[in-house]
Amino acid sequence: MEADLLKTGRFKREEHIKRPADIQKLFKTGKRVSVAGAKLFYMLNDRNINRIGFPLPRGYGNAVERNTSRRYSRETYRFFKTHLNTGYDMLLLVYPGNDSFQSRCEKFKTLCQKAGLLKD
């Protein structure tokens, strides 16, 4: 079973950005790219892994919608993480609207291409 988790690119604890100070730093000093309905804040970190957080804007639906949105975002990152350059902190900010896993993947891929985070 553990071999299956490694194949799918498990989202590990050390890949989460949870400290409010780290999130504020990314919002204030990080670079940003955007597409309709989403923004990606990113900056280099001093690590050999990527870290990511999924904040939601104020007023983003009810608890079910917020949890579903975070789940889509985590799964999207997990799907793309092997295709990303390492050493970055990122925040994926998604705005309310018609959303699906497919559209989230397309938005994240476009954002990463704009930011130059995808491997060649």
Read off the pLDDT of residues 59-103 as tens digits, 9 standing for 90 and up. 888 889 889 999 999 999 999 988 999 999 999 999 888 788 999
Is 82 a member of any domain?
Answer: yes
* pLDDT score of 12: 82
Could you give the number of structural domains in the chain?
A: 1
Q: What's the CATH number where 60 sits?
A: 3.30.230.10
Is 9 a member of any domain?
Answer: no
Is 8 a member of any domain?
Answer: no
Is 23 a member of any domain?
Answer: yes
Is 2 a member of any domain?
Answer: no
Q: Is the dihedral of CA 32, 60, 69, 74 positive or negative?
A: positive
Is 7 a member of any domain?
Answer: no
The domain in which residue 107 lies consists of 16-115
Is 81 a member of any domain?
Answer: yes
pLDDT level of residue 1 (50, 70, 90 thresholds): very low
* pLDDT score of 4: 41
Is 11 a member of any domain?
Answer: no
> CA-to-CA distance for 55 and 51, rounded, in angstroms?
13
What's the whole-number mean pLDDT along residues 33-60? 91
pLDDT level of residue 8 (50, 70, 90 thresholds): low
Q: Is 111 exposed, middle or buried (0-12, 13-18, 19+ CB in 10 A)?
A: buried
> CA-to-CA distance for 95 and 103, rounded, in angstroms?
12
Is pLDDT above 60 for 24?
A: yes
